[in-house]
Structure 1
Amino acid sequence: MKKFLFISITFLALSCQTKEEVDLIVQNANIYTVDGDFSKASSIAIKDGKFVAVGNIEEITQKYNAKELLDAEGKTIVPGLIDAHCHFYGLGQNQQVVDLVGTSSYDEILEKVVAFHKERPSSFVMGRGWDQNDWEVKEFPTKEKLDELFPDTPVALRRIDGHALLVNQKALDLAGITVDTKTEGGEIVKENGKLTGVLVDNPMGLIDPIVPPLSTEQQIQALKDAERISLDYGLTTVNDAGLSRETIELIDSLQQAGELSIRVYAMVANYPENLDYFLNKGIIKTDGLNVSSVKVYGDGALGSRGAALREPYSDKPGHFGAMVTPVDQIEALAQRIAASDYQMNTHAIGDSANIVVLRAYDKALEGKSDRRWKVEHAQVISPSDFDYYEKGIIPSVQPTHATSDMYWAGDRLGSEREKGAYAYKDLLEKAGLVALGTDFPVERVSPFLTFYAAVARQDLEQYPERGYQMENALSREETLKGMTIWAAYSNFEEDEKGSIEPGKFADFVILSEDIMTAPLQNIPNIEAEQVFLGGKKMK
């Protein structure tokens, strides 16, 4: 008996000694792993920034000893959320300018601009976020009142979608813009032969040379501000849709120095100098940075009537919108990028722009497999054109665009054409997946609003009562996949993130409520209570 007891004690001691040491074990959790079976678990073990085990606490504690134990108290855990299309750096820049989001009139905009300039005087006043579709009079503003308030200081106020700009006369003069200025791919808006101060799409670039550049310190602060806001909502990876070489290299240097933690999939902005550098250099990939795609603008936005349509706008006869990048250039770009290892990700809103992009992709990718090129927004599509998505093209869509635009989209498009707009379920059925994002700061940062808009297709007042075009709503499982594993797949990163599985980065979020079972009306108010990036608690 004594011999048996001695052997048992010895065996237990050896068993304890052979347990693997890990950094963290999380227990008592409601975990949606988003693995291939969409399985659930209650415990995870983490070591060196990666998941090493997923299961229940008994299974995990038999094999592992932890330096730290976290009791999740039954709360829901999901993989780190990925915003598949946003303007991360732009969000940070916006923290330095007048915030015009939610303004209900032009007069309110003017009040905010005056108050901002009084508090923070500068030689150039900038702002972003106005949307004339939210006003009682849903027409573009004009510059007269700005000229009166700021006769000697240039002012530039960007529309919420980034596709229109209101500037005063001082800015026009400094930029050399007159009624005779010629441009393509947009519009210099005039009334009665006079400039209104509104520039749509490409003409906005005429203002860029007169805007004072941010200092390096201001750029760093912008990136850190954007990271703080994004992590607060549980975003652990952001796909920034269009960055310069300078900003990409700044992000890389900050990550390498440990001053920026969020993971960034950086789309290279389509400028000749950027393409010449990055396409020749090849893909740049670290744990924190992925530079492997080019962002191209096909057309403008629907809200500013810049989206390129096959037939005229229903609320503006004779107006078709415009291609920002000419058709022949899109085709040439597609051929050039197809000859490299890079993806091509193209902004396409109108049905005309969408078919241009889809045809260019189809031709350039002939004979090539698994390139995962994306159409960003894929917003208005003709019925016959959905079939292109069966060929491996990925729709990257933003559900809150549907619930922001639904009040006036029918006016722009007409009821028949509207049926092919914001058609996320149709796109999913053809492509097999959808990558979901917000397009922030065009929309709000919250991924929980993305989730709500995809599933409920309603605004925060539960309008419309039965949802907007509910035949194109996504299920909760499809939506969570679109914000995690499908978004990761679209970035060629499905082997390292997007699900809670051994070997992947320990990026995960503890939620205030179960997003898969909570009443729909609760989803917009869900919070990311704790956020982990590579096993490190960020919030």
Structure 2
Amino acid sequence: MKKLLTLAIFATVLSCQKEKTPVDAIVINGNIYTVNGNFDKAEAFAIKDGKFLEIASSKILQEKYVADTIIDAQGKTIVPGFIDAHAHFEGLGNNLLSVDLMGTDSFDEVLKRVLDFQNEHQLGVIYARGWDQNDWEEKEFPNNALLNQLFPDTPIALGRVDGHATLFNQAALNLGNVTETSEIDGGDFIKKDGKLTGVLVDRAQNLVFNNWPVASRSQRVKALLAAQEDCFKFGLTTIDDAGVSADAIEIMESLYETGDLKIRLYVMASGTEDQLDYYLKNGIVKTDRLHIRSFKISSDGALGSRGALLREPYSDAHTVYGLPVTSLDYLEKAATRIANSEFQLNTHAIGDSANHAVLNIYKKALNGKNDRRWRIEHAQIVSPEDFEKFDDIMPSIQPTHATSDMYWAEDRIGAERIKGAYAYKKLLDTYGKVALGTDFPVEKVSPFLTFYAAVARQDLKEFPKDGFQMEDALSREETLRGMTIWAAYSNFEENEKGSIEAGKFADFIMLDRDIMNVDIQQVPETKVEQTYLGGVQVY
């Protein structure tokens, strides 16, 4: 009788227990920054069908759910997958597969790297990128005299770090029939003593590149997959790819179909007339991985090559104002067309004249529409009276530009204009959000350098001692939001990514340190231990 009573009680207890719900994975014991509206911390979350199902304590979730995969974070810091709000995805891949000229401290070092690369690979043409004459003892543009001697028959193109100037040898110049009498609107041919140096700025580069040997499809695929691998290593799960050609988009779409390309891309199609015609007719492209709903147009060049368009001459070149890469007439007509669609316009503007013109064109085209999320890419030098115009125009900024340019930027634009340069906090205070990116391969891929530059505004040697124009530094919370939920917002994707919340894609990364609390000088050394995309580990 006693045994029967015990069995009855046991059966009653079992019947009262709820059956656990199966899920794909449970992450427990984490130091989780959800980056939700309240910036809440959490300990655990459950994943189902590639999305976050519930965020709670480890105990609650393990009592409620069952999963074959239990990930014990062991106290490690977890944040949403990073979103790089302005980058060049294929450009990164090309750089990874070619000569790396980043960090060269002289033109001699540039030549050595090219020679070493060519001795190993023996290519028919060589393209490389990454030199910056501002990092050299002689801060002058190089010339192609030695390149012509070393490579008389092999076309060589050595791009400046920002992509707005390139040094070509004579064999490359011959491809575009470039001579001392060549001219082009929006471009410049750097000369010395009346002779070409081989450096072409902004649109002048196109004379050569329009005749450059076309990379094979297999080479381009290899570059895209190399870029994906590098991005996952740094915890990047979404890339805003700025200014993508039609043929590159076609290759990307084919790689998504085969499953080779997994990273999420927010594509800014190049704002050429043919791409405007195509997408404005056919509409937005939206899948879980690929989103095409914006155009990117460049209004001017870069500050480092004196192509940024200024309202007054350069302080270190008194007859130079910079270059209008796109005519204001075209930009105004394009903005009007785009304003009558659901598409977004994202315009590159570096100089104060470019920012002034683009802001006014945006205001006129939008005519009071205040949630179109049109972006100004870089917003690098802004006149004092123009900051207020960012009330409904979103700043898309790259903090490492400030720490790369701070050594020479004031020489370029003077003590007064520098006050409105790299003014990230002023832009944040006006719009309420900022989208943060790297502009890779102009800068390095690492988002931890973005984080460090935004907060510390110093280089890796802790220069300057008190930070560069610290009144425009961002807090750690603002920075993390700018790299996640605000970047998602800039892409109209804040309801599906950018924070660890139920219903959103389970894109998250596990770090080897707590970037929100460690000494800020440790942040650049942060390593990503694991990267997850849709709940699947990709690194």
Counterpart CA distance in 2 for 1:131 and 1:350 is 19
Counterpart CA distance in 2 for 1:358 and 1:281 is 28
Structure 1 residues 15 and 182 mapped into 2: Cα distance closer, same or farther (>3 Å)?
same
Aligned to 1:34: 35
Counterpart CA distance in 2 for 1:282 and 1:268 is 12
Alignment of structure 1 residues 495-510 onto 2, 5 Å:
495-510=495-510
The question of 1:127 aligning with 2:146 is answered: no
Q: Counterpart of 2:8 in structure 1: which amino acid?
A: F
Alignment of structure 1 residues 295-334 onto 2, 5 Å:
295-334=296-335
Deviation string 1:24-44 (CA, Å, 9 cap, x unpaired) is 001010000000000010001
Shift of 1:143: 1.1
Counterpart CA distance in 1 for 2:167 and 2:76 is 47
Aligned to 2:278: 277
Aligned to 1:355: 356
Shift of 1:65: 1.1
Alignment of structure 1 residues 80-229 onto 2, 5 Å:
80-229=81-230
Aligned to 1:59: 60
Structure 1 residues 3 and 251 mapped into 2: Cα distance closer, same or farther (>3 Å)?
farther
Aligned to 1:10: 12
Alignment of structure 1 residues 427-466 onto 2, 5 Å:
427-466=427-466
Counterpart CA distance in 1 for 2:9 and 2:297 is 69
Alignment of structure 1 residues 347-496 onto 2, 5 Å:
347-390=348-391, 392-496=392-496
Counterpart CA distance in 1 for 2:520 and 2:415 is 27
Shift of 1:179: 1.2
Question: Larger deviation: 64-73 or 478-487?
Answer: 64-73
Shift of 1:275: 1.7
Deviation string 1:66-98 (CA, Å, 9 cap, x unpaired) is 121111000100000000000011100112321
Q: Counterpart of 1:54 in structure 2: which amino acid?
A: I
* Count of residues in Structure 1 that have an aligned counterpart in Structure 2: 537
Q: What's the TM-score, normalizing by structure 2?
A: 0.98
Shift of 1:9: 4.3
Q: Counterpart of 2:439 in structure 1: which amino acid?
A: D
**Which secondary structure state, in structure 2, belongs to the residue aligned with residue 301 of structure 1?**
coil
8 Å Cα contact 2:175/2:212 also seen in 1 = no
Counterpart CA distance in 1 for 2:158 and 2:83 is 29
**Which secondary structure state, in structure 1, belongs to the residue aligned with residue 291 of structure 2?**
strand
Counterpart CA distance in 2 for 1:14 and 1:244 is 61
Q: Counterpart of 2:41 in structure 1: which amino acid?
A: K
Q: Counterpart of 2:150 in structure 1: which amino acid?
A: L
Shift of 1:310: 0.4
The question of 1:68 aligning with 2:69 is answered: yes
Counterpart CA distance in 2 for 1:367 and 1:348 is 22
Counterpart CA distance in 2 for 1:534 and 1:424 is 31
8 Å Cα contact 2:155/2:171 also seen in 1 = yes
**Which secondary structure state, in structure 1, belongs to the residue aligned with residue 401 of structure 2?**
helix
Deviation string 1:77-122 (CA, Å, 9 cap, x unpaired) is 0000000000011100112321111111111111111121111112
**Which secondary structure state, in structure 1, belongs to the residue aligned with residue 114 of structure 2?**
helix
Q: What's the TM-score, normalizing by structure 1?
A: 0.98
**Which secondary structure state, in structure 2, belongs to the residue aligned with residue 113 of structure 1?**
helix
Q: Give aligned-pair identity as a percent.
A: 57
Q: Counterpart of 2:431 in structure 1: which amino acid?
A: A
Q: Counterpart of 1:515 in structure 2: which amino acid?
A: I
Counterpart CA distance in 2 for 1:212 and 1:10 is 77
Q: Counterpart of 2:64 in structure 1: which amino acid?
A: K
Shift of 1:177: 0.8
**Which secondary structure state, in structure 1, belongs to the residue aligned with residue 127 of structure 2?**
strand
Q: Counterpart of 1:89 in structure 2: which amino acid?
A: E
Counterpart CA distance in 2 for 1:43 and 1:15 is 23
**Which secondary structure state, in structure 2, belongs to the residue aligned with residue 210 of structure 1?**
coil
Q: Counterpart of 2:427 in structure 1: which amino acid?
A: L
For structure 2, list consecutive stretches of 5 or more residues without a partner in the other structure: none
**Which secondary structure state, in structure 1, belongs to the residue aligned with residue 428 of structure 2?**
helix
Structure 1 residues 126 and 4 mapped into 2: Cα distance closer, same or farther (>3 Å)?
same
Counterpart CA distance in 2 for 1:285 and 1:3 is 61
Structure 1 residues 289 and 85 mapped into 2: Cα distance closer, same or farther (>3 Å)?
same
Q: Counterpart of 1:482 in structure 2: which amino acid?
A: G
Counterpart CA distance in 1 for 2:133 and 2:433 is 34
Q: Counterpart of 1:266 in structure 2: which amino acid?
A: V
8 Å Cα contact 2:345/2:375 also seen in 1 = yes
Deviation string 1:198-243 (CA, Å, 9 cap, x unpaired) is 1000111111132111111111111100000000000000001011
Shift of 1:150: 1.2
For structure 1, list consecutive stretches of 5 or more residues without a partner in the other structure: none
Structure 1 residues 5 and 298 mapped into 2: Cα distance closer, same or farther (>3 Å)?
farther
